[in-house]
Amino acid sequence: MSDVPPVPAGLSHRPTLGGLVVPWVNIALADGGADFRGLHNSKWRRAWTERLCQVCGLPLVHPIVLLGGPNQLASYFDEAPLHPWCAAYTARACPMVAGRREAYAARPPVSHGPRGQVCPEPGCGCGGWRPHTAGRPAAGGDPAHEWWALWCADFALAVTPEGRLLGGKPIGELRRRLVSSPRGAGP
């Protein structure tokens, strides 16, 4: 399958599903599946506050990469930070980031259905997964947007006046590159 890139050695510790690495920040389901569209809220928060890569879950190193669309470039990024090599893998593996989709899926994420009612982490106490509310998720069926990679020296947390974490704002931009446009019409 041409849409399934090889798993980089640095991601060999991560589980895979259909040949794709399951990002650390995504929801792992009790039945062994994963919700590639659902974010584990506490891991998403930890990625920002503890400076962990959203794909591999390991501590970030310099430079840091942020992925997002035009809205994120103009304000803050709600996709958690990545290592450069994890961002390169994501740009090939994720159908949205790679520009292989013209719209976001209209169906609810897998974790919002019966498969998401049981948490695979014993003693977690979450009572089943809850919809991600930290960032600005696209509504089902919304048109896809361009994806950009922004390399930066660091980031500052973006929070509401009430203290709710929204994501991060780059500090010390080093490079910016268009990754894709919808339906593969990218750079």
User: Residue ranges per domain, the chain?
Assistant: 9-184
Q: What is the pLDDT of residue 3?
A: 77
Q: What is the pLDDT of residue 29?
A: 77
Instruction: Report whether pLDDT(39) > 90.
Output: no
Instruction: Report whether pLDDT(94) > 60.
Output: yes
- Residue in 135, 152, 10 with CA at minimum distance from that of residue 71: 135
CA distance 32 to 34: 7
Q: Provide the residue type at 183 as one letter.
A: R
Distance of CA 3 to the CA centre of its chain: 18
Contact 85, 170 (CB under 8 A): no
The structure's pTM equals 0.82
Q: Provide the residue type at 117 as one letter.
A: Q
Q: What is the pLDDT of residue 17?
A: 87
